[in-house]
A and B are shown apart, each in its own frame.
Chain A
Amino acid sequence: MVEKAKIVAAFAVGYGLTLALQLLLNVLTPVPEILKDKPLLTEQLLQQDVTAEQWVNSAERLTEKLKLSRL
């Protein structure tokens, strides 16, 4: 029983430490200068693991839909 608990603990420590390292790297990763004065937009952008191009495509698609809805 103790042996199993130690195995689980070692697994959890490995998982947790890698996660902690990842979170530390995230904190250290800078936000681009152009987004620094737009905290709300940055917050939204940080929620999705996508490229800048995908965000731009989303904005362009909404613009297209808006144009179409006004026809």
Chain B
Amino acid sequence: MLKAFICQYWRYFVLGSACYLVIPWAKAPSWQLTALWQSEQETADAFKPLLKFYKKYGDAVFPALQAQLELNKLRDYERELIADNEQFSDQARDDKWATASEFVIAHVATDVSKNELRIYDSECRNDLCQIEIAAPNGLTKELSQLVLKFASTLKAGDLEFHQLHEENDRIILEVKAGKRLKYNFIDEWRLTPATREQWLAEVGEWLKKQK
């Protein structure tokens, strides 16, 4: 009877198994799995600084240690997002900032260079702006000076020179703002969980006790 049941419904059995494997929530932690193929000495070396720390501060450090670990995870995740947004082409548009920056760029281009600098197009996204500047004769000495003046004026408005490359009849100037990247709803939600304040408080409390 069991055999007949398995033969008839094995697909759902496999589906259930696969569903667990997609999110294997009960798996052993990475450090323990890594220890399986490491020698005891290698594992001991890997944990040495942690054990030294634990010896010094004892069991009372656990809440702060766990909280700091969670905060580090958030920081690592934000670093990943920053790396994913490194190129202009990877960025989504932060509309409010981008519109304001494009306005500033247009203003600076006409005001500073007295219309000598011909801007074909400028586009801002999340923290990068690309400005296409006409260069029919390539990057000549005069044009370089104008671009430098233009870039230094933009720098005063928190748009720092990032990179410059030449194309056929134009140069592409890329400037970068020092602002925090704007992420989509899910990423923002993951970066600012409700428990974040609690983690910060745990760390703060431990620091106070150590003073």
Contacts and interface: CB of A to CB of B under 8 A. Distances in A.
A and B interact: yes
* Interface SS of B by simple majority: helix
Interface residues of B, number: 52
B168 interface: no
A28 to B, nearest CB: 10
Given A10-B9, A44-B66, A18 B21 contact: yes
B207 A14 contact: no
B203 A50 contact: no
Given A18-B21, A46-B32, A59 B50 contact: yes
B142 interface: no
Interface string A53-68: 1111111111101100
Given A55-B50, A61-B68, A45 B31 contact: yes
Contacts of B31: 45, 50-52, 55
B21 to A, nearest CB: 6
A65 to B, nearest CB: 6
A52 B64 contact: no
Nearest to A11: B16
Contacts of A63: 53
Contacts of A65: 68, 203, 207
B29 interface: yes
Given A10-B9, A66-B207, A50 B47 contact: no
A49 B30 contact: yes
Nearest to A23: B26
A69 B69 contact: no
A62 B54 CA distance: 12
A11 to B, nearest CB: 4
B43 A32 contact: yes
B189 interface: no
B211 A69 contact: yes
A49 to B, nearest CB: 5
Give the 6 A-B CB pairs with smallest separation, nearest first. A14-B16, A10-B9, A10-B12, A15-B16, A14-B13, A11-B16
17 contacts: A6-B5, A7-B9, A13-B13, A14-B14, A18-B16, A32-B40, A32-B44, A40-B62, A41-B51, A47-B66, A54-B72, A56-B50, A58-B68, A60-B53, A61-B72, A63-B53, A70-B211
